[in-house]
Amino acid sequence: MGAIILIATDELRFWRRSKIAWTVLVTLLLVSTCAALVSNVEVSRRAEERLAQQAEADAIFQAQPDRHPHRMVHYGHYVYRAASPLAVIDSGIDSMVGTSIFLEGHRQNSATFAAARETGLLARFGSFSPAFVLQALAPLLLIICGFASVTREKENKTLYQLIGQGVSGNKLVFGKSLALWVVALLAILPLLFLGFSSTGSDNFGFRQSLYSMTFGYLIYLSVWVLLIVSVSALLRTSAQSLSVLLGLWIVTVVLMPRIASEYASASAPSPSQIETNLRIAETMRAGGDSHDIEDNAFVDLRSVTLAEYNVESIEDLPFNYRGFVALRGEEADTEVLKQFAQERMSQELRQKSIADSFSLFSPVVAIRSFSMALAGTALQDHHHFLRAAEDYRFNMVQTFNRLQMSEMTLAEDLARNDGDEAGRNTRVNSSNWAEMPVFELRPLDHTQRWGAASSSGFAMGLWLIVAFGLLLLSSRQLRS
Amino acid sequence: MNMKYRIEQELFFLLKCRAVLGVLALLLVVSGVSVVLGLNYVAAERQQIAELVQLDNEERAYKRSLAYDYGGAAYDAFHAVWNPPSELAFAAIGQRDLNPTMMRIRALAIEGQIYETDSVNPELALAGRFDFAFVAAYLLPLVIIFVFYDLLASERESGRLNLLSVTARNSRILWLPRILLRFVGILVAILVPLWIGIFIEGAAFGLLFGASFAVTLLAVLWTGLVLAIATRPVLRSESIAAISIGAWVILTLAIPISGKVYIESSVSGVKGAEVALVQRESVNDAWDLPKSVTMDAFYASHPEWADSAPINEEFHWKWYYAFQQVGDESAAELSRDYRAIMLVRDELTARVSFLSPAVAIQRQLETLARTNLSASLEFEDQVRSYHEEIRRAYYPVLFSEEPFSSERLAQITIPGFSNSAQLAVE
């Protein structure tokens, strides 16, 4: 152990003297800290913006005057997606998906106004977040620090001196790795601090997710450290080592994520929104128009209901039959909508898992997915938001439909257009809108996030084993 | 030692230099893959558009067969609009995957319809597309760095530099053929797949020339930069590589990302959601307002219908369509501001492109391929004017209160959507 530490400290001392390594270290720490600060400001600004918009939408909704409940079904409501506290570390798909959904009766709108669309061209160049720095830039800087760690000893003919003094190949590569690993550790620190400060008082286990995430980045950077030292030990010259490592970086960091997503979208293509909408419309047509109680689709409902309440006509029912049809109609519509939404989400998850399988070719694909999942900014979190919004929509609409059932008679409802007096009879007190619970998104909890991250975590474990194996292999080569 | 002999000699060297040849082959393959993926993408889009148009016509005809009043017929009649990919779109898909390529609109308020987006898998979109523009912006510079960084240093480090300098009459004849040959090799590797793609798509020669020129310019720029670093006599080849990669990181990642942060934080204003909200409020408030308020506002912008009969009923379709239009008018200013902000962001992006060749080449290719912001806004304009055509088609029967007849309804024909980009394809 002593020899390993000695080699590590010696390597660190060398970096301090060498201009390039020193520049790299300072750059890495600077960039990593800046990213943490900038990201913190940016993400909190966006989060506050959305909170303000949600508050505004809630206020407008609650201030609606007395109205016929079905007017409110069509008036609808806006909900906004609150940002995860760990979005400061990895904003994930946040900018790619819409931030708000308009909720109304009879239909499911998509989330609109994605930031990426408003930003334009630059949206795809990455983001200045700790996650991007650690995933893409840190490996590059580690390469520039460490590509010559062993080849330098070969080129200066000091390697055989060291081995002659009884330093084993293993100890040499472990020592070199340790030195590089210290750098990696320093790079991760800003992430930990930032995450710690932004997950102050939450009940959804974001602290735990932060720890898991930090651990994930530690493994990821360790994989790079081991790969860098292995390559440096395997090759003859520093120049060779550098070109191989840069090539590796280009392929895994720059190319692989795009190849993975192209492959996924080509091998499991998803139907266009319009095509789906047409299919939804076709399916819903069979369900009838719930605005019209005479619609043929509700003939059965009428006879069953009359029999159940043992009355002769719908006028004798103890509630407003129009409201009842609206209630049942919405139920049937929602069934269809949910089924299509589920289909689309499964398709997206299928594409994601195809893309994630490229983790085996690139640790970057693995850490991207791992980090997003734990940050609560991944696909499953967006789906969770969509489901929560849909549940909220359904409850809201059904609350209005129940008001229509209970707050007026069928005769009053049918006569609602016959003058002001009749119109007033079918209006429901505005306090009902103000009492509607506001939309609050309960994020997924740590176990669910971990569940989504685990397969990528497993892939990173494999990479660590492979990289470690390569290191041992490379040290064997040093001896001969 | 004449130039022709030197070029033949360098060609021989190049063919023996496995590393450089390997990288050129890799560039050729990667560029080829990006072109194939792009071609598949636009083919799939065209297919989807063709299917949509078919489905759309059937659906509308079916809905029309059920109509029993004009207002209801207009309410149910969705019309397909689409933004077909240009002949060069395969090379720079740009924001096409986030912007809708097709929509179905009807005579209701357009502000409530135009911001609908197509379904994209956000996690796949996040990675960005593997199109030719990506290969040119990201990989071409890296290949240039790889091919040129040890041009001098390798000769120096192997001790041949002095010998070569002494034997050559001047340094130009020594280095120029080598640089030129490698440069041409890089250009051929990246451009040939593009040319094949352009040939398949049947794009105009101007586009081929424009795209090739932009890529060549980028290659010249990077080659110059790398050579400027590589010819510094004090640097070892590893240092040259490290510094060049540093330059790549700054120009391709750091500047665009900083630019993005700057643009997003400095340009704030109307959010899209606000436009939708205002339009929605206006349309909903109309239900509670006296009908004359809405109708007066409508007649102010549509005086040709001002002598239409007053409305006494609780509900009338002409009032319904009037308040839809008034809703659009009330959100029009916000909507214009929203667009203006996007244009301001785009303008700032153009400034960033002066600092980052990666941004510049993407912008240039997207402009040529008509996949940029202005093309997207142009499509939006076409949709807006088509929407106007749709709603105005129904106004005569609504405002002159003609009694309903299927024959009269059949006379209301709205020509299918067409746009200039499509004509270019056909």
User: Dihedral of the CA atoms A325, A330, A331, A332 (nearest 10)?
Assistant: 90
Calculate the CA A329 to chain-centre distance. Answer: 34
Model confidence pLDDT, tens digit, residues A383-397: 999 999 999 999 999
CB A184 within 8 A of CB A28: no
pLDDT score recorded for residue A476: 87
Task: Name beta bridge partners: A104.
Answer: A107
Beta-carbon separation of B373 and A120 below 8 A: yes
d(CA A436, CA A432): 7
Distance of alpha carbon A18 from alpha carbon A147, whole angstroms:
14
Report d(CA A183, CA A25) in Å as an integer: 7
Phi, psi of A289 (to 5 degrees): -100, 110
Examine the pLDDT at B75 and tell me if it is beyond 60: yes
Under 8 Å CB-to-CB from A180, ≥6 apart: which residues?
Answer: A11, A142, A145, A146, A149, A225, A228, A229
Contacts of A323 (CB under 8 A, 6+ apart): A69, A401, A402, A403, A404, A405, A406, A408, A413
**Could you count the other beta carbons within 10 Å of the beta carbon of residue A369?**
29
Cα–Cα distance, B69 to B397 (Å, whole number)? 10
State the maximum Cα–Cα separation within chain A, in Å, rounded to a whole number.
Answer: 105
pLDDT at B426: 34
> Is pLDDT of B18 > 80?
no
8 A C-beta contact, residue B140 and residue B92: no
Question: Sign of the C-alpha dihedral, residues B297, B301, B303, B305?
Answer: negative
Distance (Å) from the alpha carbon of B4 to chain A's nearest alpha carbon: 32
Of A38, A113, A147, the CB nearest to B115: A113
Per residue in B250-269, pLDDT (tens digit) is 899 889 988 988 888 888 77
Across the interface, do A276 and B55 touch by the CB < 8 Å criterion?
Answer: no
Inter-chain CB proximity B264 and A42 less than 8 Å:
yes
Question: Would you tell me which residues 371-400 of chain A have a C-beta closer than 8 angstroms to some C-beta of chain B?
Answer: 372, 378-379, 382
How confident is the model over A415-435, as a mean pLDDT?
84
Q: Do B44 and A269 lie within an 8 Å CB cutoff?
A: yes
Higher pLDDT, B288 or A62: A62
- d(CA A1, CA B283) in angstroms, rounded, equals 76
- Nearest Cα to Cα of residue A366 among A473, A454, A249: A454
Q: What average pLDDT does chain B have? A: 87
Poorest-pLDDT segment among A155-169, A297-311, A320-334: A155-169
- To the nearest 10°, report the CA torsion of A114, A115, A119, A123: -90
Chain B neighbors of A43, CB-CB under 8 A: none
Which pLDDT band, with edges at 50, 70 and 90, does A131 fall under?
Answer: very high
Residue A79 backbone dihedrals phi, psi, to 5 degrees: -125, 145
Give me the mean pLDDT over the B37-44 stretch.
92
Amino acid at B206: G
User: Which residues on chain B are in Cβ contact (under 8 Å) with A246?
Assistant: 142, 146, 241, 245
CB-CB neighbours of B236 under 10 Å: 14
Choose the closest CB to A258 out of B121, B128, B352: B128
One DSSP character per residue, B173-201 reads HHHHHHHHHHHHHHHHHHHHHHHHHHHHH
Which chain A residue lies closest to B118 (C-alpha atoms)? A273
Distance, in Å, from the CA atom of A170 to the CA atom of A172, rounded to the nearest integer, reads 5
The answer to whether A112 contacts B261, with C-beta atoms less than 8 Å apart, is no
**Residue numbers in B near A41 (CB within 8 A):** 265
Token pair, residue A29, equals 């720490």
**pLDDT tens figures, B156-178:** 767 776 666 666 666 667 778 88
Q: What are the tokens at A121?
A: 């061209």
Whether the pLDDT of residue B245 is over 50: the answer is yes
Ramachandran angles phi, psi of A99, nearest 5°: -95, -20
Residue type for position A237 = T
Mean pLDDT of A153-158: 86
Which residues of chain B lie closer than 8 angstroms to A65, CB-CB? 288
Name the residue among B19, B288, B372 with its Cβ closest to that of A65.
B288
pLDDT (0 to 100) of residue B424: 37
Average pLDDT, chain A: 88
A316: helix, coil or strand? helix
pLDDT score of A44 more than 60: yes
Helix or strand or coil: residue A108?
A: strand
- The alpha-carbon gap from A128 to the nearest alpha carbon of chain B, in Å, equals 6
Side-chain half-sphere exposure of B89, counting CA atoms within 13 A: 25
pLDDT in tens, A172-219: 899 999 999 998 998 898 888 888 888 876 678 899 999 999 999 999
Is B97:B127 a contact under the CB 8 Å cutoff?
no
Q: So what's the ipTM on this one?
A: 0.86
Q: To the nearest whole percent, how much of chain B has pLDDT over 70? A: 94
Question: CA–CA separation, B243 vs A93, rounded Å?
Answer: 32
A58-62, B98-102, B305-309, range with greatest mean pLDDT = A58-62
B47: its two tokens: 């297919």
> Can you tell me the mean pLDDT for B271-289?
83
Q: Which of residues 152-211 of A touch B (CB under 8 A)?
A: none
User: A323: closest CA among A394, A392, A410?
Assistant: A410
CA angle (A390 as vertex; A389, A391 as ends), nearest 5: 90
Give the phi and the psi of residue B17 in degrees, each rounded to 5: -90, 95
H or E element: which one contains A104? strand A98-104
- Range B270-298 average pLDDT: 84
Measured CA to CA, the distance from residue A132 to residue A138 in angstroms comes to 9
SS3 per residue for A29-78: HHHHHHHHHHHHHHHHHHHHHHHHHHHHHHHHHHCCCCECHHHHHHHCEE
What is the pLDDT at residue B421?
45
Name the residue facing A119 among B123, B242, B263 (closest C-beta).
B263
A108 bridge partner residues:
A103
Q: Which of B129, B253, B265 sits opposite A258 (nearest CB)?
A: B129
| Cβ contacts of B284 on chain A, cutoff 8 Å | 71, 74-75
Reported as a pLDDT band with limits 50, 70 and 90, residue A111 is: confident
What separation, in Å, do the N-terminal and C-terminal C-alpha atoms of chain B show?
A: 54
Q: Which helix (H) or strand (E) element contains residue B104?
A: strand B102-105
Which has the higher per-residue pLDDT, B157 or B132? B132
Q: Name the token pair of B327.
A: 């809703």
What burial letters (b/e) apply to B63-76, b meaning 16+ CB within 10 Å?
Answer: bbeebeebbebbbb
Higher-confidence residue: B344 or B312?
A: B344
Instruction: Please name the member of B118, B241, B258 whose beta carbon is closest to the beta carbon of A128.
Output: B258
> Which phi-psi region, left, alpha or beta, contains residue A270 (left: φ > 0; alpha: ψ -120 to 50)?
beta
Chain A CB contacts of B363 under 8 Å are: 121
Q: How far apart are CA B319 and CA B399, in angstroms?
A: 9
Whole-number pLDDT of residue A479: 67
Among B239, B257, B264, the residue with its CB nearest the CB of A125 is B257
Predicted pLDDT of residue A469: 96
Query: Measured on CA atoms in the order A39, A41, A42, A43, is the torsion positive or negative?
Result: positive
Which pairing describes strands B79-82 and A77-80: parallel, antiparallel, or unpaired? unpaired
Record: contact A246-B48, CB cut-off 8 A: no
Most B CBs within 10 Å, among A67, A124, A150, A384, to test the B interface: A124
The stretch A324-340 carries a mean pLDDT of: 91
Put simply, whether A59 touches B (Cβ < 8 Å) is no
What is the model's pLDDT at position B4? 79
> Considering only CB atoms, which chain A residues are within 8 Å of B345?
118-120
End-to-end C-alpha distance for chain A, whole angstroms: 22
State yes or no: pLDDT of A480 exceeds 80: no
Decide if pLDDT at B423 tops 50: no
Chain A residues with beta carbon closer than 8 angstroms to that of B100: 273
d(CA A108, CA B217): 48
- Interface with chain B: mutation pick from A262, A350, A362, A377, highest number of B CBs within 10 Å: A262
Q: Length of chain B in residues, anyone?
A: 426
Q: Do B129 and A378 touch (CB under 8 A)?
A: no
d(Cα B350, Cα B368) in Å, to the nearest integer?
15
Per domain, the residue ranges of chain A are 2-479
**Closest residue of B to A422, CA-based?**
B314
How many other C-beta atoms are found inside a 10 Å radius of the C-beta of residue B93? 26
Lowest mean pLDDT among B45-49, B95-99, B159-163: B159-163
User: What secondary structure letter does DSSP report for B302?
Assistant: -
Give the residues across from A78 on adjacent strands.
A102
- According to DSSP, residue A377 is labeled -
Judge: B117–A122 Cβ closer than 8 Å, yes or no: no
Q: From the CA of B152, how many Å to the nearest CA of chain A?
A: 13
Place of tokens 């909720």: A103
Exposed e or buried b per residue across A211-229, where buried means at least 16 C-beta atoms within 10 angstroms of its C-beta: bbbbebbbbbbbbbbbbbb
Give the residue ranges of DSSP H helices in B267-372.
272-286, 291-301, 317-355, 357-369
Phi, psi of A354 (to 5 degrees): -65, -45
The pLDDT value given to residue A95: 84
Give the containing element (helix H, strand E) for B112. Answer: none
A contact residues 14-43, partner B, Cβ 8 Å cutoff: 20, 38, 41-42
CA-CA distance, A147 to A249, in Å (whole number)? 12
Query: Is A262's Cβ below 8 Å from some Cβ in B?
Result: yes
C-beta atoms of A121 and B271 within 8 A: no
Q: Among A128-137, A274-283, A433-442, B161-170, which is the least confidently predicted range? A: B161-170
